[in-house]
Amino acid sequence: MHREGASFRWRLFVEGSSNQQGSGASVILEGSDGLLIEQALRFAFKASNNQAEYEALIAGMLLAKEMEAKGLLAKSDSLLVTGQVKGEYQAKDPQMAAYLEYVQVLEETFEVFELVHVPKE
């Protein structure tokens, strides 16, 4: 069912990071009605920054889907992840390709989806 104005009612901000202490991510989902959901994720596995970024994006997309979002504007500070999702970069690494494939499957569950790169502040 397509609703007028459903375009970007939800905004998602994701950031993944990895260091010596471990890896994790932060996910912030914001609805047009002022609803704000924040999640901090800590991974039980060693992840690269890009893996952590994909994990954050996937967690955020699943959360938006759970909230029945029709349109989602996602923002990430990872140039690689946004480039791969937009088709500007190839995912040569098998693990990155698997993450990308899952994001593309999730993308289809939204009427409107866009991922934009926002440089780190």
> pLDDT digit string (tens) for 32-88?
888 999 999 998 888 889 999 999 999 999 999 999 999 999 999 999 999 999 999
Predicted TM-score (pTM) of this structure: 0.90
The alpha carbon torsion through 67, 73, 78, 83 (nearest 10 deg) reads 120
Confidence of residue 10 (pLDDT cuts 50, 70, 90): very high
With pLDDT > 70 as the criterion, what percentage of the chain qualifies? 93
pLDDT confidence of residue 8: 72
| Integer-rounded Cα radius of gyration of the chain | 14
CA distances in angstroms from 2 to 13, 31, 51, 75, 115, listed in the order given: 24, 18, 33, 23, 20
Residue 3, pLDDT above cutoff 70: no
CATH of 10-117, one of 3.90.1310.10, 2.60.40.3080, 3.30.420.10, 3.30.70.890: 3.30.420.10
d(CA 93, CA 88) in angstroms, rounded, equals: 15
* pLDDT (0 to 100) of residue 7: 63
